[in-house]
Structure 1
Amino acid sequence: MEVAVTPRPRRPRPKVVTLTPAAAARVKEIMDRADKPYAGLRVGVKNGGCAGSEYIFEYAAEKGPIDEVVEDQGVTILIDPKAVLFLIGTTIDYETTKLSSKFVFNNPNETDACGCGESVTIQPAPEALD
């Protein structure tokens, strides 16, 4: 007896992280003004803070050997592979108010945040586990 197997069509892989136009412009501006060249923007998640996790957001001199690389609006984003499941679908924005300006993570995988806004609780993206 022969069984025909029809492969399931693969869903398109979502971008792990995207930047808003404001965030991309600010990252480019900072990198252009830097004293040394950067390979990209490193984004990740580490344990810490009262809610359990903190975002990593820094300029990287070089790409790590196993970094996930995302290109968005002319910016190279380097992501630690251990953070990918927690960042899928995240948009990074740059917000300016009368009193401050800052990068803001809009992560659909966040389930909670501490009152100070420095740490978050994040679960793996459900669509990544399907």
Structure 2
Amino acid sequence: MVTITEKAKQHILDIIRDKNYDNTYFIRVAVESGGCSGLSYKLDFDNEEKKGDQLFEDNGIKICLDIKSYLYLAGTELDYSDGLTGKGFEFHNPNASRTCACGESFAV
């Protein structure tokens, strides 16, 4: 399961409001091949489940993962940073053996 911090939740809700998404939308978190370290994170909004999706909720936010991504992301925390070094979503993945400097890719 992926958990959502309060700061990430607030930013997700802001996006949902700004885009006028209805309550059928959820965040889709995935892992793709690529990036400096071999695998990269992907975060989108969606309102259609696909075969094999794992759907759950944390901190009032619906989260969807495909089964492959679930294996890589189990236990991950999704946070949001708006600090001086950059702003955006951050993945704190306990399964990552190394990450790139930008935090957008990882290896297991």
TM-score, length-scaled by structure 1:
0.74
Q: Does 1:48 align with 2:29?
A: no
Partners of 1:88 and 1:20 in 2: CA distance = 15
**Structure 1, unaligned runs of 5 or more:** 1-15, 123-130
Partners of 1:30 and 1:36 in 2: CA distance = 8
Using the TM superposition, give the Cα deviation of residue 65 of structure 1 relative to its aligned residue in structure 2, in angstroms: 2.9
Match of 2:84 among 98, 109, 117: 98
Match of 1:25 among 10, 15, 19: 10
Partners of 1:118 and 1:72 in 2: CA distance = 22
Partners of 2:59 and 2:101 in 1: CA distance = 32
Partners of 1:86 and 1:114 in 2: CA distance = 16
Using the TM superposition, give the Cα deviation of residue 91 of structure 1 relative to its aligned residue in structure 2, in angstroms: 0.4
Partners of 2:82 and 2:102 in 1: CA distance = 18
Partners of 1:28 and 1:36 in 2: CA distance = 10
Partners of 1:116 and 1:104 in 2: CA distance = 10
Match of 2:25 among 39, 59, 75: 39
TM-score, length-scaled by structure 2:
0.88
1:81-116 alpha-carbon deviations (Å, 9 max, x no partner): 111111111000111113532110000000011234
- Residue identity (%): 35
Give the structure with the larger strand fraction.
Answer: 2
Please tell me whether Structure 1 or Structure 2 has the larger radius of gyration of its CA atoms.
1
- Aligned counterpart, 1:78: 64
Is the CA contact 2:27–2:64 (under 8 Å) kept in the aligned structure 1?
yes
